[in-house]
Amino acid sequence: MKVDAIVLGGGIVGTSVALQLQRRGVKVAVVDRKAPGNETSLGNAGLIQREGVYPYACPRDFASLARYAGNRATDVRYHAMALPKMAPFLLKYWHHSREDRHALIAKAYSTLIAHSVSEHRELIDAAGAQALLRNNGWIKAFRTDKVFEKSVTEALRWKDEYGIEFDVLQGDALRHAEPSLSSVLRMAVRYSSSDSVSDPAGLVGAYANLFERIGGRVLVGDASTLEPSWRVQTETGTAEAEMVVLAMGPWSGDLTAKLGYSLPLEVKRGYHMHYAAMPGATLNHPALDAEVGYMITPMVRGIRLTTGVELGFRDSPKTPVQLQAIEPVARSVFPFGERLDPEPWLGRRPCTPDMMPVIGPAPRHKNLWFAFGHAHHGLTLGPITGRLIAESITGAIPTVDLRPFRADRF
């Protein structure tokens, strides 16, 4: 089968790229080993983070580093055997997380974040997926005054620098917004300009259905069989194209290495589990218990409990000790019923040390494009990434300057 472009990867980024190309008259096939939205894009907290102008940085203060070194923190755990391999990445991550460098990164990163909600809403309308969308923001909840006041100061700075809207919920206001949350969460910052979805995999599936309705093809295949220029093996035979977009999330590094690139990609692992809510209990917003480090989100399947970060080899077996540690805490905050999943879900977030995705042309291959490394913001940035790749390929001026995100920055 011959098409104009093959997109390798059927997550939120790859599906968005394919859809935006197909809408611009490019004949596209998506190739993945699973149906769209059933790998990394399945397991996030469902946030579309308009407030996320500062990507998640590495802690640099001694107290935090000492706490994580003991490997008993609820928000970050690590596999000791993986640390030697990850050390160069972690050192660069720590370097880029210094306050002044982080602020410079935010100036570039915010140009993507600015389009996150608007691009999703447009695609959601086109795909008929409005039932999955919530536009009431999300809440970051606190137990102590000191940490809460620090977060309010941060939110005020973000509002001043980037126009990020928020409101403060305390006492009765928080109880009114979330009557089923325990009073141990005493106050919160609500980021009202952000959206969320009740089924991230379902949203990707809706975008993929729209892609197919307008002529795109979704194929099951093995991206590792890619050969320049450009062929890949699928269950229905060989797919050939003039150009390829590599959007394989945490598996992107395997293929870029095969093609001769050495990019500093690592993964942050994470887990989730769904629970029933006890009779009469409600959760109206995604809610972060900020001082413990977990999030609960109302989903189609139930209440999703998501963990923080686990540092380890990408393909190591599941070690859901974080989930085991936070479940009792989460049950004391919200009235969970029984578990709804047979086992915890494990996902892998694709990360770069400067916290910014790789978006743009491959430096040494004609008609090869990169779209990966979105870390915690894959769902947030999928549609704008798709638009930028599609604009670049079809000769339009990209909506956002892509120079900060090119692969040759490394």
Task: Report the pLDDT value the prediction gives residue 6, as an integer from 0 to 100.
Answer: 98
Structural domains present in the chain: 2-45+116-125+200-263+353-409 (3.50.50.60), 48-115+139-194+266-350 (3.30.9.10)
CA distance linking residue 300 with residue 298, whole number of Å: 7
- The per-residue pLDDT for range 348-378, each reduced to its tens digit, is 999 999 999 999 999 999 999 999 999 999 9
User: Amino acid identity of 129?
Assistant: A
Among 365, 382, 383, residue whose Cα is nearest residue 373 = 382
Contact 184, 143 (CB under 8 A): yes
Beta-bridged to residue 173, according to DSSP, are none
Other CB atoms within 10 A of residue 181 CB: 24
- The per-residue pLDDT for range 394-405, each reduced to its tens digit, is 999 999 999 999
Low-confidence ranges of the chain (pLDDT < 50): none
CA distance linking residue 162 with residue 165, whole number of Å: 9
- Give the pTM: 0.97
Beta-bridged to residue 196, according to DSSP, are 47, 134
Query: What torsion, rounded to 10 degrees, do the Cα atoms 98, 101, 105, 106 define?
Result: 70
Task: Report the pLDDT value the prediction gives residue 229, as an integer from 0 to 100.
Answer: 85
